[in-house]
Chain A
């Protein structure tokens, strides 16, 4: 599918870059143009995502077959002819979507659009929006790239804009939070780099044009054991090097998720970042970690995945319970949401570790739903902070009467986060538990305590903010305004809609998830490995 002779995925990825160039050309004093350019560009991105959705074929699986991918664009990018001692180098510009990436593409487009509206009143608009749009390209690129090298480039392109967005527009401890984010993520990505290079040297495919053997960064080729050269570092199954590579990749992605104990950058980054950037961080960035695991770690290292599935499930459990407990202890509203994010990402990890259709479906749904719900929660914090200039939970009370419209929206988001039936969070958590219970009965049961703790801190927060006596100093707090409603209402509609009728989302990913689960379990079991089950 092409627009003006250029593939639609290229458009959706590079449209923000075009907008960025426009933004940089806007003359001084016309800040309003900058804002409109960004909102329109991200709006077109949403439209493109909808176009993708309307043309999406639900029967194609993707994962490891080229034919299963849709809207594929595949071109030579780097092509260095071989020399006597080193083969040809081919790097491809290879984009495509399947059931794993489609929900994420929609989510990214949506959250970026909402984020650019929410950024309306930030100072230094030119620099801000330029970086924001660059970040948008990086995130979108990660979700559609199918060449590992390209994936890595997009993954890294995001780092610098994020550093500046937190570091320049953030709160009082922004410098610390920004550098911490940068160093943690870079540490994760250099581990990924080493694994990527190792995979490159281990796999080779026959070039259809010339018939010579070439090493490749093509992810799909890396998933097929037949393409591994004998004697290469990652060839075979169940070798020590493959386990090490799986763990290195896992750490690289776990930092992004974040999985405890690699999570400490997240509360700092979230608390210091400006509202729209927190929204992007929680809504999209964290999903890149779990998406990376599903897209890269699982199908390329199925043996490693099965061997370490149990520890992964335990980490998921720790994330759920630790995140929820830590959230309960917070007095800062934003920090509470940040820790709740860690807790909710734990469900994703648990669902993935279960490695059955229900679990993985639940995980991807939770990625999407957490994206929308947490985006709402951070916007909600932003609304309150913009008015009161404080986020101390104990400083509020009785806001329900003072800001009734706000209260209404907050309740939708809070109950969705808590997992109330009828809202989207419930469905995905239910699926995760359905899946996890089959594989890890006890871990699933213990993890369910997380739901109770979540209910605890959410209800307690509602009570502290909205019920009781309204302090005198908040007597003049205005209710939520139209622009803020524009950002929150679409998300609320999605949350309610997917809570009542989740099948569109499930159908979107169903074929791919089934295929992924079957592929990984069969591949991993080929060497006699069974998924670990606690007695």
Chain B
């Protein structure tokens, strides 16, 4: 018995190497920062980058395998591995951003940089766990790991009132929604007596259930998920937190924590609330469990999220706040992939996340550079900026165009696949809402472009020089945004082969 447990444990640990590497890295970050932190200020960042590189090595090795480890607590499959790539990429890029961030250099935060990188890594670890957990308790714990790391990160600039306020709001909303989610979990546990999502599904199918209770449980759980992915009506924290937090943290939250929420939500829905006894005529489609119309609920959530996000974004003059609402709208677009309950939708969602990673981080980076050079994130300082920093102006325009979803950019390809999934499943109304939202979103994205190129600079007119590092970082994000807009074959291939989830067709 003990012997068998030992074998299992070793097997599990072998397939847990990326997470173990991350854990070791974050331990190293703290220790090395304590020892060398005074001499080499950014040692945490360098250690983290190395650690992430090693993690990505193990993650690549894992790709394609499917196993269940730690006694059905956690799974490794292509789906979670794909999301792990996204988390690694985004953490890597964010650490590079942070190395140049003026907010971290010029405030008291510069004395606490070790902890900053520690938190970035712990958030990434939490996201890794969220992508792979199949047990409701494990899901809840990893969600909390992500949340707690992000609470601290959001308030990292102590002397900034906005930053502290953001953190405070984040904690309060977070506590409420995770409380609701726990309540949902307890209802499901009461209904089925199981915590493993596959077991929950089996129990629901074999011994029946009360649809009303299940619906209530689902809605309560959605409060938790919706909060992580900032879906309307659980989005209220987003603008304040995104505006108040340091830009690097905002960018990180908008990608990693959102992607983790989606990873978990889709796995939860697909594993628990489908009817495996029924076969649907269409290949790659799942039968929805009786009496629980969750695709309709998600469809309404999606339509609401993108519409509210886009319409409020029109009125924003602070770029960070505008990008916050835009990220809400993008959550709405991504939800469209969930609505169809088909593998095609999931692959579209994965593809969109890759596109979103590059274009959204690119946009945030441009805002960061401009804020560093001009000291403000207000749309007013962008007047004539295209002539003062032509390279950044053009790059920012391309990122915004990609966010709008106009070809030839990666953002367009992402949207194309989302709409394709909807039309293939004949959910035409949502596709129409989606495209109309794209048109609305053009208006606020193009406002920035208008200020950059159509208006003349008001006070300062001198050109602003960009360092080589700035240009290099922008290029690293810009090239995929354009390249995958024209040649997207391989990336679609990757997204399509990554939908495989453990134990599910």
Inter-chain CA distance A476–B420, complex, in Å, is 63
- Chain A 130-172 interface residues, beta-carbon cutoff 8 Å to B: 152-153, 156-157, 159-160, 163-164, 167-168
- A133 smallest CB distance to B (angstroms): 15
Question: How far apart sit A191 and B436, CA to CA, in the bound complex (Å)?
Answer: 9
Q: Say yes or no for B7: interface residue by CB 8 A criterion.
A: no
B:283-322 near A, CB below 8 Å: 283-285
Contact among A167, A178, A194 for B419, CB-based, below 8 A: A194
B442 CB-CB contact with A under 8 Å = yes
Contact B493 A80 (CB under 8 A): yes
Min CB–CB distance A213 → chain B (angstroms): 13
User: Could you tell me the distance in whole angstroms from the C-beta of B380 to the nearest C-beta in chain A?
Assistant: 15
Decide if B439 touches A186 in the complex (CB within 8 Å).
Answer: yes
* Cβ B450 vs Cβ A167 within 8 A: yes
B403-423 residues at the A interface, CB under 8 angstroms:
406-408, 412, 416, 419-420, 423
* Complexed CA–CA distance, A197 and B496 (Å): 18
In angstroms, Cα B397 to Cα A197, docked, is 27
* Neighbouring A residues of B401 by C-beta, 8 Å: 160
Residues from chain A with Cβ under 8 Å of B347 in the complex:
86
From A77, A85, A174, B343 is in contact (CB under 8 Å) with: A85
Quick check: is A193 within 8 A (CB to CB) of the other chain? yes
- Rounded to whole angstroms, the CA-CA distance of A429 and B454 in the bound complex is 40
Decide: A79 and B446 in contact? CB cutoff 8 A. Answer: no
CB distance from B251 to the nearest CB of A (A): 25
B453 close to A86 (CB less than 8 A): no
How far does the alpha carbon of A94 sit from the alpha carbon of B496 in the complex, in Å?
A: 25
Structural contact, B489 and A78, CB atoms closer than 8 A: yes
A18 located at the interface, meaning its Cβ lies under 8 Å from any Cβ of chain B in the complex? no
Question: Per-residue 0/1 for A73-104: is the Cβ within 8 Å of any B Cβ (1 yes, 0 no)?
Answer: 00001111101111001000000000000000
CB pair A86 B496 closer than 8 Å: yes
What CA separation (Å) do A208 and B80 show in the bound complex? 37
User: B488 on the interface (CB 8 Å rule)?
Assistant: yes
B492 & A80 in contact (Cβ 8 Å cutoff): yes
A332: Cβ under 8 A from any B Cβ:
no
A182 touches B446 (CB 8 A): yes
CB proximity to B under 8 Å, residues A42-88: 77-81, 83-86
Q: Please determine whether A186 and B454 come into contact, CB atoms closer than 8 angstroms.
A: no
> Is B283 in contact with A84, judged by CB distance below 8 angstroms?
yes
Q: Is A186 in contact with B406, judged by CB distance below 8 angstroms?
A: yes
B435 near A197: Cβ-Cβ < 8 Å: no
Q: Which of B127-135, B139-147, B177-185, B424-432 contacts A (4 or more CB under 8 A)?
A: B424-432
User: Please, which residues of chain A bring their CB within 8 A of the CB of B5?
Assistant: none
Cα separation A330 to B252 with both chains bound (whole Å) = 55
Q: Mark B105-130, 1 if CB is under 8 A from A, else 0.
A: 00000000000000000000000000
Contact B454 A197 (CB under 8 A): no
User: What separation, in Å, do the CA atoms of A83 and B397 have in the docked complex?
Assistant: 36
In the complex, which range does the number of interface residues on chain B fall in? 35 or more
Of the residues B342, B408, B442, contact of A182 by C-beta under 8 Å: B442
- Min CB distance B457 to A, Å, is 14
Q: Does A479 contact B (CB under 8 A)?
A: no
B342→A85 contact, CB < 8 A: yes
Cβ contact within 8 Å between A78 and B454? no
Q: Shortest beta-carbon distance, A210 to chain B, in Å?
A: 16
Among B282, B416, B492, point to the contact of A197 (Cβ < 8 A): B416
Q: Which residues of B contact A191 (CB under 8 A)?
A: 435
Complex: A89 Cα to B492 Cα, angstroms:
9
Which residue, A83, A164, A182, has most C-beta atoms of chain B within 10 A? A83
Tell me the minimal C-beta distance from B460 to chain A in angstroms. 19
Q: Are B407 and A197 in contact (CB under 8 A)?
A: no
Provided the pairs A79-B489, A190-B435, A191-B435 are in contact, do residues A183 and B443 lie with their beta carbons within 8 angstroms?
Answer: yes
Q: Which residues of B contact A153 (CB under 8 A)?
A: 407-408
- CB A148 to nearest CB in B, in angstroms, measures 12
A153 to B486: give the CA distance in the assembly, Å: 9
Residue A179 at the chain B interface, CB threshold 8 Å: yes
The A interface, classified by DSSP as helix, strand, loop or mixed, is: helix
Pair B442/A183 contact, Cβ less than 8 Å: yes
Are A164 and B453 in contact, CB atoms less than 8 angstroms apart? yes
Q: How far is the CA of A167 from the CA of B487 in the complex (A)?
A: 30
From B419, B423, B450, A175 is in contact (CB under 8 Å) with B450
For residue A200, CB closer than 8 A to chain B, the reply is yes
Distance between B395 CB and nearest chain A CB, rounded to angstroms: 14
Bound complex: CA of A190 vs CA of B416, how far in Å? 10
Bound CA span A435–B408, Å: 40
State whether the Cβ of A225 lies closer than 8 Å to any Cβ in chain B.
no
Bound-state Cα–Cα, A163 to B439, Å: 15
Please tell me if the beta carbons of B488 and A85 are within 8 angstroms of each other in the complex: no
Most interface-central of B438, B492, B496 (chain A CB within 10 A): B496
> How far, in whole Å, are A168 and B387 apart by their CA atoms in the complex?
12
Interface centre among B284, B344, B442 (most CB of A within 10 A): B442
A388 at the interface (CB under 8 A from B): no
**Given that A78-B488, A157-B408 are contacting pairs, would A85 and B284 also be in contact in the complex, using a CB cutoff of 8 Å?**
yes
B436 touches A190 (CB 8 A): yes
Does A494 reach chain B (CB closer than 8 Å)? Answer: no
Of A77, A86, A89, A164, most buried by chain B (CB within 10 Å of CB) is A86
Contact, CB under 8 Å: A156 / B406: yes
CA of A159 to CA of B412, assembled, Å: 14
Min C-beta distance of B476 to chain A, whole Å = 21
A residues 172-192 touching B (CB-CB < 8 Å): 174-175, 178-179, 182-183, 186-187, 190-191
Q: Does A201 contact B (CB under 8 A)?
A: yes
- A178, B431: Cα distance in complex, Å: 27
A7 interface contact, C-beta 8 A? no
- The complex places the Cα of A193 from the Cα of B404 at a distance, in Å, of 14
Chain B residue with the shortest CB-CB distance to A233: B426
Residues of chain A within 8 A (CB-CB) of B284 are 83-86
CA distance A79 to B487 in the complex (A): 10
A167:B408 contact, CB within 8 angstroms = no
A86 and B446 in contact (CB under 8 A), knowing A80-B493, A81-B493, A153-B408? no
A198 is an interface residue with CB less than 8 A from chain B: yes
A24 and B40 CA atoms in complex are apart in Å by: 42
Given contacts A85-B342, A182-B442, contact A201 B420 (CB under 8 A): yes
- With A83-B496, A186-B406: A200-B420 Cβ-Cβ less than 8 Å: yes
Residue in A83, A156, A194 whose CB lies within 8 Å of B435:
A194
The answer to whether A157 and B407 touch across the interface, beta carbons within 8 angstroms, is yes
21 of the cross-chain contacts (CB-CB < 8 Å) are A79-B489, A80-B492, A83-B343, A83-B496, A83-B497, A84-B284, A85-B284, A85-B343, A153-B408, A160-B397, A167-B453, A175-B450, A179-B446, A182-B442, A183-B439, A183-B443, A190-B436, A193-B435, A197-B420, A200-B420, A233-B426
5 smallest CB-CB distances across A and B, nearest first, come from: A85-B284, A190-B435, A85-B283, A167-B454, A78-B489
Interface residues of B, Cβ cutoff 8 Å to A: 282-285, 342-344, 347, 397, 401, 406-408, 412, 416, 419-420, 423-424, 426, 428, 431-432, 435-436, 438-439, 442-443, 446, 450, 453-454, 487-489, 492-493, 496-497
Known: A86-B496, A160-B397, A233-B423. 7 other contacts (CB 8 A): A83-B497, A85-B283, A86-B343, A187-B439, A194-B423, A194-B435, A200-B420
